Structure 1
Amino acid sequence: MQQHNISYLYPGRICLYLIGLSIVIALFNPSGAAVHTMSARNSRHAMIPDIHYNYLGRVNDPLAYKCQTQANGKHCYGVNQMRNAYSVAPLLSQGFTGKGRTIVILDAYQAPHLRDDLGDFDARFGLAPIALNIVAPQGVPSWDSHSVMQQTWSAEISVDVEWAHAIAPDAAITLVEAKSENDPDLIPALNYAIDKNLGDIISMSFGEGEDCPGADVLRQWHDAFVKATSKKITLFSSAGDSGVAQQTCDGNSWHVMASTPASDTLVTGVGGTTLNADEDTGDYSSETAWNEPALKSASGGGFSATFQKPAYQDQISVINKKRGVPDVAYNSSTDGGVITVWSDGSNGPGGIYSFGGTSVGAPQWSAIVAIADQYSNQRLGLINPILYKIGNTPDWYHSAFHDIVSGNNGIELQATPKAI
């Protein structure tokens, strides 16, 4: 496929500024085995996580974190490194830990060893246990260790829960499990979370090409997002791992297409960067647009075919009149992935992996907003207008943003995708 490039805003870390009596979210410069890819889409009306991972070892393996040494070819980051790189640590030290707030993780199927893995993750990184609530409104199928689809979602669940907890350690987490990856099952699970008011933020680390669900299904997603926004619930979704391309609905080819639900105007789409930080301290050095040609993966991004440009993007200096994604970004590279405990993979119980993909950014951004909600003592709801207002206000912009101006998300994809 022809390579397509697009330049877009890749802001880095988040901080909180008090202006009068209001809280303004301000973004600024962030002061093993073969890779497994979990981003193919092989059926219509199906959401698939945008996730990649490397096997590192087991929980009791002293060499499992060798990727945190400069001598190793691949790099990875633990909890302290990510907190420092994105300036979360100073907020935590002041008691802004997400306490009193709840993050909803929306995923499909289940991760049968999640509670044990979360306990191992907490023990490895010195985190206190949290209130983890797991609900499956329609039930989920029995665990099938031979199902690649179930295994994919189990991986997604593990990284979502562990890393939301890592960034906002005192926020409660509610995992809402849909009975499948199909839109008709995910949408009721989303509506359940909204109707039951299960949390302040909803994280959705999955996507599909906008043209696959159909107008009626896209409307059902949007109606749910309208309802969530009316309750001041903040919505995040990963922007995809295939650059400006998505698989066609039959899974046999690629075309230029934005990923939904990230492209919805009421959702904050999370793209990807490659973070360059100290492996030991996490001190920030630089970021580039995430693009790994060897994986045929890059940060999702482009323009919607469905949604018109929202008012909050009016000042963006591009001619296109459609909604642009992503809105923000976060470290997504497999070379610098985040350490996660996951027992449901092919390497068995107690496995330690380094995870990458834009799926990794959505739960961590959700955690950051949980901290912001605690700081402001209220739900912030849709944050996109203030993000763009800061970006278009010179005095705020120069102290708040660090644009990622190097790299692109253009990739060359094979004509016929491989099945996962």
Structure 2
Amino acid sequence: MPEMKTLKVALLGCGNVGAQVARILLDDADILASRTGARLELAGIAVRTLDAPRDVELPQHLFTTDAEALVKDADLVIELIGGIEPARSLILSALQNGASVVTGNKALLAQDGPTLYAAADQAGVQLSYEAAVAGAIPIIRPIRDSLAGDRITRVLGIVNGTTNFILDQMDSTGAQFSDALAEAQSLGFAEADPTADVEGHDAASKAAILASLAFHTRFALENVHCQGISEVSAADIAAAKDAGFVIKLLAIAEKIDSADGGGGVSVRVHPTLLPRDHPLGAVRGAFNAVFVEAENAGELMFYGQGAGGAPTASAVMGDLVSAARRLVLGGPGRTETPTSQVDVLGIDAVTTSYYIGLDVADQPGVLARIAQLFAEHGVSIEIMRQSVHNGSAESAELRIVTHRATEAALAATVEAVKGLDVINSVTSVLRVEGV
């Protein structure tokens, strides 16, 4: 029997995910060999600080600060350091030296993915990134491969566990945003600086990746309309709950057809009201889920842990085994699906519903004036609820849910409402999906 081939694996980064990847490579070496047909030898782990504390006890001789030398002698490279540089340069170096690369770097892929795909194509090696979106959930390969013969029309995703945990806490306990954020930080779900999560930037990077795969067109971060959850109040959560909705931060990519046969794709991230019985409405805590609508497959949902060391390491290892099998069996690397070109549409082209919170004067004729203004702008009202505002006899709280209309018409309506003398303030404007 011929001796089994050995493939050298270079690991860049040893944080929560990297440490778990190293553990799996060492502990499950025999299992991985049986599945790939080759021994996967962890050749080294590139880190910034050799003696930094780590969650997993690993052989000290594996650590190095010379990432450039490590990637030049590897068959497979796993990049888990994040950020743009030096990750970009190290990945390009690995690809140019003939190594296949597995990465979880959503920010880099959203910003400069085409450069990396082109380098992988030119070198004939594989660039895989299942871990870049939704942690352990297998979503990249199903969209890229399983649905390759279908036409995806829409993707909706809860792709950031931190924001889902915060919104779920607010919904289940009535907590204010700041208190729910503090709880998320104390449990390790949110970073000390949570800006990338709560302002939607992390989800926007993932939305660009999902849109690129689903619609075979390259979308960059600047193509994604982005709004975070920091302005969502406990009052918004309570009002949504009272109306049968739950608020989630959604990443949405959808195909929009126009009357002239054209159209394009809109990609957006923002807080969204969903009916509580929608499949995504039931996603609790720090879990993620991606809901896909396709012409022939219909509705599909992928659900699971969207973050954490071991769950995300599972996605990394799936890509690594696939890349190793290709090296054993031969054949070209697989990077991205062939691209077409659809127009990138701004959010003004979207058709949606709105939830609008108003602080209004509590006097006769107010509701009629507001309803008339909505009608003049071609926006119909589905739900309108009024209650006394903070016990005041002079003002009232008005909550409106509209029927679907264009984003442009809805935005113009809100601006017109602000000009009414009976409006004290517009307290919130959120979009509604699933109705």
TM-score range, shorter chain: 0.3 to 0.5
Identify, as 1 or 2, the structure richer in helix. Answer: 2
Higher alpha-carbon Rg? 2
